[in-house]
Structure 1
Amino acid sequence: MSSLFPALSGGAAERRPALRFGDRALTYAELAAAAGSLAARISGSGRVAVWATPTLETAVGVVAALLAGVPAVPLNPRSGESELGHILADSAPSLILAAAGDELPSAVRGLERVDVDVNAPAAPTPATGNVSDDAPAFIVYTSGTTGPPKGAVLPRRAIATTLDALADAWQWTADDVLVHALPLFHVHGLILGILGPLRRGGSVRHLGRFGTDGVARELNDGATMVFGVPTMYHRIAEALPDDPGLAKALGRARLLVSGSAALPVHDHERIAAATGRRVIERYGMTETLMNTSVRADGEPRAGTVGVPLPGVQLRLVEEDGSPVPSYDGESVGEIQVRGPNLFTEYLNRPDATAAAFTEDGWFRTGDMAVRDADGYVRIVGRKATDLIKSGGYKIGAGEIENALLEHPGVREVAVTGEPDDDLGERIVAWVVPADPGTPPDPDELADHVARRLAPHKRPRTVRFLDSLPRNDMGKIMKRALPQGSGH
């Protein structure tokens, strides 16, 4: 099913740029040759691990695996030995693809190693016409909050349908040039950020490491789209007041897309005011790929993740599984989704797979949201860590975080709930102050939230930190917050 990438089949697109990492680049003809040659080598290999550094070799290796009809297991090069050991034991790949010269840790040295040659001459690509749309394309390991990571098996149909749905929502074409600096062991950076442009016949320029100067340089040199996570857009928002060149470059972008976590409304507004461009958000996860997005031709409503993508069914349910009675922008429910974008199973975990789906086939995302009457979805947090039940109310941590970020004394914030004898749970704000020497008064912060939202949403406890714990994608890890007393 090499039709995942029609532009690799030759024709007028051959000379078009496909991939660029720093000063190294491949045209479609060169990518077809390198990936086709490698596909011939690994055909019939079972599963293959990919040492997913932000390089041409990773992109070529993944495309080769897809051309060969072989499931790929992307490995985070920053993973520890025990996590790598678990992933390799669970997925049992037959070999590992890596860039020549990459030093691999001892956990993977027992695997046969195949160095990826990005300059390999063309070779006959194995026929994959008999590969089913439901055949596994990737096994991507989720960052397990409890227990070891689980391998989500993503079928080829999920890759194709998600990328085509995004093409519809974002008016994404072969003329688009994407710039990003996302890691390539997650679906955001790899499937959306590398395979997305290749499926359209467009091109991608990977910065290697994020920097506002690199984003501006590429936008000034013809890039049309930017993918990033909230941490990156926060840095952009912070840099804009002193960098008119950056504001001008961002104003040239056709589309600025943020994902992997919620982008604070405060950063939305700062970027829009400086550049005239609205960042749009989308919502997905490893198991579902993409579920919703603000459309390129729709209203870029800050703080929302837009509407369901074509082919995706989405509903909000109460704790007992009954539908949320009304989409009024206030009633909170858990998001459940159904559609061709979903994973097929957790590898070797039939128990976890069964628990993840309802009896009528909907996937339980664990994300809590409200939905407006016109279909726009606003996520208020994770069921496990962001839904706070206080004084009889169900409160989403996300809206309190957005309100606190509007206070000039707050640089970063995370909101959690803690047991409280009177309220059930009390709202706790973990604040990184803008000026560590003079942190804002906790009562002032509580009043600030009460004025903007409602009195029952005010934080009852404020704790000041130097920084918030984050994972590789910039998501705040609330379970890693220290325990202790506060104001």
Structure 2
Amino acid sequence: MLFPTLTPNAPDLADAITVGDDRLSREDLVGAATAVAERIGGAHTLAVLARPSIDTVLAIAGCLIAGVAAVPVPPDSGARELDHILTDSGAQAWLGAAPDDPALPVIPVRRYARSWHRHPEPPETSTALILYTSGTTGLPKGVPISRRAIAAGLDALADAWQWTADDALAHGLPLFHVHGLILGVLGPLRRGGRLIHTVKPRPENYAAAMDLGASMFFGVPTVWTRVSTDEAAAQRLSSARLLVSGSAPLPVPVFDRIHALTGHEIVERYGMTETMITVSTRADGERRPGWVGLPLTGVETRIREGDNDLPHDGETVGDLHVRGPMMSSGYLNQPAKSAESWLADGFFATGDVAVVDPDGMHRIVGRRATDLIKSGGYRIGAGEIETVLLGHPAVDEVAVIGVPDDDLGQRIVAYVVGDRVPDAELIDHVTTELSHHKRPREIRFVDGLPRNAMGKVQKKLLD
């Protein structure tokens, strides 16, 4: 069974779900979500405006009980993106809250309705969710995720993170991506533990979650950066069991500051909408700053250049491919794009470049399109240059890209947010720690870096 906590015989828990100041017991969660399932019986696909609320949790849970595919929609979607998601997914109606002037019928979520009808478990191969990618290179692509994939992914993380029903998970992440929804909501539903959603991922809200008994915290690097600058809030997290970071690379200086303030070495992990989480450091293993860990149980990885496997020597950069039971099987309505990424031997070509050391530890260099720089005949990862620059006291944020150059092929350029020190000071700082050919040829100071909703820097908007 995918979610034993969503059955009438599940043990009650007075504060199973907390969203801001709103709480729901497990008994009320099951009764209300089952009432939702009764209302949507016979539907195949429903859109859910994924605001951080109890109603959103009930809408998703109701779909899971009824075997209806849910399409979590970002609340801030623009008109063009919204129309694309609704049309592409084939959503029949909105479940719960809806935008102004909705183009589809609206099915209300009645918070205080209750049903104890037992629904048969849907087939494990059926689609539970259709998530949409961040759309940084065009309109977002739909990714159908099966119930079996969700179970495999969450169970592999439970093994890696020693995640049990005794854990109370706290986070303030959006509820329309893998991180905040599948890991952050469905994880507690599968494990049987509590969920504390802070609505906003602010340091003071994370600190306050400790008063509610939080033991695990999820955050993107931007969240952990803010926590690391709030000493009082950070120190409140010292007694938590596990701090986890994902969705973008965690800067090494942030890892180090959190460790100094809390005693915790943050668990880093790697995944995508198409694959969920495939690589992670472990609760009982080494947590090396800047590295995302080992393949999860059931996962295989490889790094390649063309059709050739590359050595796991901790230095050689190659295209990262992954294969595992938590992967989706293709993009919705896009067979050609699916064939480009889902390879004939079952591996998924991530589009990321990485290095793997002899022990199997993975370090993500970045996206091939924007983070692999070919300069002067060398293959250079932007990420390692960014990590070194972040170690300079004048640098608050940085993004490194390659720009066309007649002589070098690509010239390394660093966009820096911080104190405007002389360019040579930052360039020399890099050459003291990395090979000479990895130094930036140009420093461009900016007021901020363009980011998407998950905090990822959108490098295609630079230059």
TM-score normalised by structure 2 residue count:
0.98
Amino acid at match of 1:121: R
Shift of 1:275: 1.3
* 1:81 pairs with 2:117: no
Mapped pair 1:49 → 2:47:
yes
Cα contact 2:168–2:195 (8 A) shared by 1: yes
Match of 1:258 in 2: 245
For the Cα contact (< 8 Å) 1:39–1:125, is it kept in 2? no
Query: Per-residue displacement from partner, 1:159-212 (whole Å, max 9, x unpaired)?
Result: 000000000000000110011000001111000000001100001110111211
2:454 equivalent in structure 1:
473
Conservation of the 8 A alpha-carbon contact between 1:40 and 1:123: no
Report whether the alignment pairs 1:105 with 2:100.
yes
**Matched position secondary structure for 1:300:** coil
Note if 1:6 corresponds to 2:1. Answer: no
Find the aligned partners of 2:247 and 2:111 in 1 and give their Cα distance: 30
What is the 5 A alignment of 1:278-293? 278-293=265-280
**Residue of structure 2 in register with 1:267 after alignment:** 254
2:44 aligned with 1:58: no
Question: What does the per-residue CA deviation read over 1:95-125, in whole Å, with 9 as the maximum and x for residues that have no partner?
Answer: 11124xx6x133xx12110121222212414
CA 1:300–1:443: 2 relative to 1, 3 Å: same
Which of 225, 231, 239 lines up with 2:230 in the alignment?
239
**Residue type at the aligned position of 2:412:** I
Residue correspondence of structure 1 range 5-154 to structure 2 within 5 A: 5-11=3-9, 13-99=11-97, 104-106=99-101, 109-127=102-120, 129=121, 131-154=122-145
1:443 aligns with 2:424: yes
Alpha-carbon distance in structure 1 between the residues aligned to 2:304 and 2:409: 22
User: Aligned partners of 1:465, 1:373: CA distance in 2, in Å?
Assistant: 39
In structure 1, the residue matched to 2:201 is: 210
| d(CA) in 2 for partners of 1:401, 1:85 | 37
Q: Deviations over 1:14-38 (max 9, x none)?
A: 1343210112111111111011110
1:415 paired residue among 393, 400, 404: 400
Look up the SS of the partner of 1:86 in the other structure. helix
Instruction: Tell me if structure 2 keeps the 8 A contact 1:13–1:201.
Output: no
In 1, are the aligned partners of 2:227 and 2:234 still within 8 Å (CA)?
Answer: no
> 2:353: which partner in 1?
368
For 2:243, what is the secondary structure of its paired residue? strand
The one-letter code sitting in structure 1 at the alignment partner of 2:308 is S
Contact 1:68 1:125 in 2 (8 A): no
Task: Work out which of the residue numbers 169, 184, 192 in structure 1 matches 2:160.
Answer: 169
| 8 A Cα contact 2:198 2:209, kept in partner | no
| Pairing 1:182–2:173 present | yes
One-letter code of the match for 2:247?
S
User: How many Å apart are 1:221 and its aligned residue?
Assistant: 3.3
Supply the AA of the counterpart residue of 1:256: L
Distance, in Å, in 2 between the alignment partners of 1:45 and 1:191 is: 22
Give distance in 1, aligned partners of 2:43 and 2:343.
35
Shift, 1:259, TM fit: 0.3
Residue 59 of structure 1 aligns to which amino acid in structure 2? V
Give the Cα–Cα distance (whole angstroms) in 2 for the partners of residues 195 and 118 of structure 1: 19
- Compared CA separation, residues 123 and 111, structure 1 to 2 (3 A): farther
Counterpart contact for 1:40–1:126, Cα < 8 Å? no
User: Partners of 2:45 and 2:14 in 1: how far apart?
Assistant: 31
| Contact 1:398–1:415 (8 Å) recurs in 2 | yes
- Name the aligned partner's letter for residue 332 of structure 1: V
- Name the CA distance, whole Å, in 1 between partners of 2:195 and 2:214: 9
Question: Which residue identity is paired with 2:350?
Answer: T
Q: 2:389: which partner in 1?
A: 404
What is the deviation of 1:445? 0.6
Where does structure 2 lack aligned partners over 5 or more consecutive residues?
none
Give structure 1 regions of 4+ aligned residues with deviation exceeding 6 angstroms: none
The residue type paired with residue 278 of structure 1 is E
**C-alpha deviation, 1:460, in angstroms:** 0.4
CA contact (8 A) 2:399 2:416 kept: yes
SS of equivalent residue, structure 1 residue 352: helix
**Partner SS, residue 124 of structure 1:** coil
Instruction: Find the residue that maps to 2:181 and give its secondary structure.
Output: helix
Deviation at 1:474, TM superposition (A): 0.8
Shift of 1:132: 2.2
Percent identity, please. 52
- SS of equivalent to 2:328: coil
Q: Aligned pair count?
A: 463
Decide whether the 8 Å contact of 1:417 with 1:428 is kept in 2: yes
SS across alignment from 1:379: strand
Q: Retained in 2: the 8 A contact 1:283–1:291? A: yes
